[in-house]
Amino acid sequence: MLTVAVLISGTGSNLRALLDAASAPDFPARIVAVGADRQADGFEHAEEFGIPTFLVPYSRFGSREEWGAELDEQLRVWNPDLVVLSGLMRLLPAGLVEAWAPRIINTHPAYLPEFPGAHGVRDALAAGVTETGASVIVVDTGVDTGPILAQERIPVQPGDTEHTLHDRVKPVERRLLIDVVHRIATGELDLDNLAH
């Protein structure tokens, strides 16, 4: 059984979907802890499922590195096989990424390498593209530059706002994330031996 820790910053709707999927008896992974860099609404989902939570407030540390060191310590308490960033809106310090690589993955609301960063949906709209997408990647020390594990195109519709487009992207992200976690858990996807 693959053990997973999930890191969030916000509403945690993708986390919720993963919790739902992982509660099925035949799902080969289980979530052991949920952490956040701020008091995130998504903690409610973890609590509902009886999953422990931990908070490492970014604002309480003098530097990204110090924050990352505490986050690393908290993660080590649970020692998960996989760390999933699901809407964590902070860049992790290189030391933390290197400590967990390649067992750390991220969901992103765009078709990477298009529109990396904190505003993937907004940036796609601003660029006037007719399609964007959703991606699941391995985290490396760049901004959304790691190996792509899964991605899918999503059309932009006339009149889309950041909100309406993001609402259509998220269900795709969820499906991709659940599938990637499943494939890692069964060994079908081997993070240590990714084809380049």
Using alpha carbons, list the distances in angstroms from residue 5 to 11, 82, 149. 16, 6, 18
Is there binding between residue 10 and ligand GAR (CB under 6 A)? yes
12 touches ligand GAR (CB under 6 A): yes
Among 35, 80, 120, 133, binds ligand GAR (CB under 6 A): 120
User: Is 108 considered catalytic here?
Assistant: yes
The answer to whether the beta carbons of residues 113 and 140 sit under 8 Å apart is: no
Name 118's Cβ contacts closer than 8 Å, sequence gap at least 6.
Answer: 89
Site string for ligand GAR, 88-107 (x = CB under 6 A): -------------------x
Measured between alpha carbons, how far is residue 128 from residues 10, 35, 163 in Å? 27, 35, 15
Tell me how far apart the alpha carbons of residues 137 and 49 are, in angstroms, rounded to a whole number: 26
Q: Give whichever of 26 and 43 is closer to ligand GAR, judged by the CB atom.
A: 43
Q: Is 14 in the site for ligand GAR (CB under 6 A)?
A: yes
Cβ closest to ligand GAR, residue 35 vs residue 109: 109
Q: Which is nearer to ligand GAR, 1 or 126 (CB)?
A: 126
Say what angle helices 162-186 and 13-22 make with each other, to 10 degrees.
30
Cβ proximity of 34 and 71 under 8 Å: no
Among 37, 114, 123, 173, binds ligand GAR (CB under 6 A): 173
Count residues contacting ligand GAR (CB under 6 A)?
17
Q: Which residues bind ligand GAR (CB under 6 A)?
A: 8, 10-15, 42, 86-87, 107-109, 118, 120, 170, 173
